[in-house]
Amino acid sequence: MKNIIVGPGHPLRGGIANFNESLCESFIKEGIDSEIVSFTLQYPSIFFPGKTQLDSGQGPEKLKITPLINSVNPLSWIKAAAYIKRQNPDYVIVRFWMPFMA
| Total-model pTM | 0.83
Among candidates 83, 89, 63, which has minimal Cα distance to 8?
63
Residue 34 contacts residue 61 (beta carbons within 8 Å): no
Number of residues in the chain? 102
Q: Is the pLDDT reported for residue 80 higher than 90?
A: yes
Residue 27 contacts residue 64 (beta carbons within 8 Å): no
Residue-wise pLDDT for 16-71, tens only, equals 888 999 999 999 999 999 999 998 887 666 665 666 666 667 767 789 999 999 98
